């Protein structure tokens, strides 16, 4: 067949357009930066890897401007990370040298150490309020405390408030903190502890290890006042099973959820006025074995729990009216979503709310899942699990600068 010049021109243009479409389709587009903290060959022994999340597949790769060498965490044994709501600042807690380290975040996701504070006790978990005015830290190996640090343009300042997390009537008991969150409206802070004097399965012989009749698990609630002052909520602390391991609040400031590591349960609470919480009437809810971490998607519709012993993720759909979570059925017909060995931290990507990642402590890896925004079910992402630095203990995520956050309206 012969073509005239006009036909040849259209043919060439069509081929060029097709090639352009194919190239665009193959182009990797970053929607989030994923940070994972663990053991690394750094000066201090702790490190942070910066990874980019692909918008189409959810696959992970090293972010532009970074390489396979982890950023020094400024200490050893990192246990927790959190970023500010403007994505300009980033904080990391090192249990090995009792420090909180402040980094600034560049447009390519890379981190620069700016300042750090040395604590009087070992940090366990950290949180930053949405106003980026306070950093909350829970510390302790034999007694638990909650401390609020003032923030100024990201820099960690003076202590604004400090509260001892002591169980009423059992002030001499050993309390171990496990988690802390601040509500999105900046109005309240919650922290979990367990009473090691009442629950200590690692101690033998067991009967002689239990020296207290206290309920083992608790949630402490505080309202936030002028200057960052913390006022205990009416009825606080609240019972929280046996060994609460993590907690999360929904983005509408109406519900709080706590994982109970010892009972294999998820406990739900409704938030009333003045930061008071009450049990959801249908709970608690079954999880996998040894639930270690919990996250909610940015729309507030789905909740995910990492189960350390099972190496799985449990998925739940949240009733937006009542806060009651119901187990979401996986698209494969199975209710288990397998990870690598011992997931201890979990996060949902904030840009699209389409991907879930876990840090797997004994697998030295990250596991990735694609989140169905209509049903909440999960399917594994391309090439998961992804190798990470050794013993990853914490994972955090911020959106790339050219993507807005997903939100929900109750």
Output the 3-class SS for 303-326.
EEEEECCCCEEEEEEECCCCCCEE
Amino acid 17: pLDDT: 33
User: 322, 326, 345, 343: which is closest to 335 by C-alpha?
Assistant: 326
Amino acid 304: pLDDT: 97
Cβ pair 399, 242 in contact under 8 A: no
Residue 95 has pLDDT above 50, yes or no: yes
Lowest-confidence segment of 17-31, 69-83, 287-301, 370-384 by average pLDDT: 17-31
Amino acid 307: pLDDT: 97
Using one digit for the tens of pLDDT, what is the confidence trace for 319-355? 999 999 997 766 554 557 999 999 999 999 999 999 9
User: 263, 291, 281, 355: which is closest to 325 by C-alpha?
Assistant: 281
User: In angstroms, rounded to a whole number, what is the distance separating the alpha carbons of residues 259 and 292?
Assistant: 7
Which band of pLDDT confidence, cut at 50, 70 and 90, is reported for residue 18?
Answer: very low
How far separated are the first and last CA of the chain, in Å rounded? 63
Mean pLDDT throughout 202-229? 92
Amino acid 40: pLDDT: 86
Residue 281 has pLDDT above 50, yes or no: yes
Structure tokens at 232: 């205990």
Comparison of pLDDT for 208 and 380, the residue scoring more: 380
**What are the boundaries of each domain within the chain?**
29-399
User: 296, 226, 224: which is closest to 258 by C-alpha?
Assistant: 296
Any idea which architecture 29-399 has in CATH? 7 Propeller (2.130)
Residue 278 has pLDDT above 50, yes or no: yes
Place of tokens 């049903």: 375
Residue 356 has pLDDT above 50, yes or no: yes
User: In angstroms, rounded to a whole number, what is the distance separating the alpha carbons of residues 65 and 348?
Assistant: 24
Mean pLDDT throughout 26-32? 72
Amino acid 65: pLDDT: 59
Percentage of residues in the chain having pLDDT higher than 90: 77
Mean pLDDT throughout 46-69? 85
Using one digit for the tens of pLDDT, what is the confidence trace for 111-141? 999 999 999 999 999 999 999 999 999 999 9
Angle 143-45-203 from CA coordinates, rounded to 5°? 35
Pick the most confident of 20-29, 207-216, 307-316.
Answer: 307-316
Mean pLDDT throughout 225-240? 97
Output the 3-class SS for the chain.
CCCCHHHHHHHHHHHHHHHHHHHHHHCCCEEEEEEEEEECCCCCCEEEEEEEEECCCCCEEECCCCCCCCEECCCCCEEEEEECCCCCEEEEEECCCCEEEEEEECCCCCEEEEEEEECCCCEEEEEECCCCCEEEEEECCCCCEEEEEEEECCEEEEEEEEEECCCCCCCCCCEEEEEEEECCCCCEEEEEEEECCCCCCCCCCHHHHCCCCCCCEEEEEEEECHHHCEEECCCCCEECCCCEEEEEECCCCCEEEEEECCCCEEEEEEECHHHCEEECCCCCEECCCCEEEEEECCCCCEEEEEECCCCEEEEEEECCCCCCEEECCCCCCCCCEECCCCEEEEEECCCCCCEEEEEECCCCEEEEEEECCCCCCEEECCCCCEECCEEEEEEEEEECCCCCCCCCCC
Q: How far is CA 318 from the centre of its chain?
A: 18
pTM exceeds 0.85: yes
Residue 382 has pLDDT above 90, yes or no: no
Using one digit for the tens of pLDDT, what is the confidence trace for 134-146? 999 999 999 999 9
CA atoms within 13 A on the CB side of 130: 11
């Amino acid at each position: 067949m012969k073509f005239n010049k006009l036909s040849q021109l259209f043919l060439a243009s069509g081929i060029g357009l097709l090639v352009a479409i194919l190239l665009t389709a193959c182009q990797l587009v970053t929607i989030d930066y994923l940070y994972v903290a663990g053991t690394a060959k750094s000066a201090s022994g702790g490190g942070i890897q910066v990874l980019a999340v692909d918008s189409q597949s959810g696959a992970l790769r090293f972010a532009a401007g970074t390489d396979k060498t982890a950023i020094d965490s400024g200490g050893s044994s990192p246990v927790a990370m959190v970023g500010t709501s403007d994505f300009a600042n980033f904080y990391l807690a090192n249990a090995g040298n009792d420090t909180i380290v402040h980094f600034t975040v560049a447009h390519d996701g890379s981190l620069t150490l700016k300042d750090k504070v040395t604590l009087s006790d070992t940090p366990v978990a950290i949180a930053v309020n949405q106003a980026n005015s306070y950093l909350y830290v829970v510390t302790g190996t034999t007694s638990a405390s909650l401390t609020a640090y003032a923030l100024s343009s990201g820099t960690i300042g003076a202590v604004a408030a400090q509260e001892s997390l002591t169980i009423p009537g059992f002030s001499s008991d050993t309390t171990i903190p496990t988690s802390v969150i601040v509500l999105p409206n900046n109005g309240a802070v919650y922290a979990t502890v367990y009473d090691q004097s009442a629950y200590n399965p690692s101690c033998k012989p067991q009967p002689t290890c239990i020296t207290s009749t206290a309920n083992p698990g608790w949630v402490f609630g505080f309202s936030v006042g002028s200057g960052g002052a913390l006022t205990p909520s009416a009825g606080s602390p609240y019972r929280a099973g046996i060994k609460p391991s993590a907690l999360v609040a929904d983005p509408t400031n109406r519900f709080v959820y706590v994982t109970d590591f010892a009972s294999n349960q998820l406990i739900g609470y409704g938030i009333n006025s003045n930061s008071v919480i009450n049990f959801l009437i249908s709970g608690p809810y079954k999880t996998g074995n040894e639930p270690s971490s919990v996250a909610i998607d940015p729309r507030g519709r789905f909740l995910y729990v990492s189960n350390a012993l099972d190496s799985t993720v449990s998925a739940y759909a949240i009733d937006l009216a009542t806060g009651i979570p119901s187990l979401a059925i996986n698209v494969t017909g199975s209710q288990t979503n397998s990870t690598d060995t011992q997931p201890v931290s979990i996060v949902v990507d904030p840009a699209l709310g389409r991907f879930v990642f876990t840090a797997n402590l004994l697998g030295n890896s990250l596991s990735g899942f694609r989140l169905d925004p209509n049903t909440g079910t999960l399917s594994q992402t391309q090439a998961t699990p992804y190798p990470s630095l050794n013993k990853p203990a914490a994972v955090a995520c911020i959106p790339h600068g050219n993507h807005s956050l997903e939100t929900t309206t109750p």
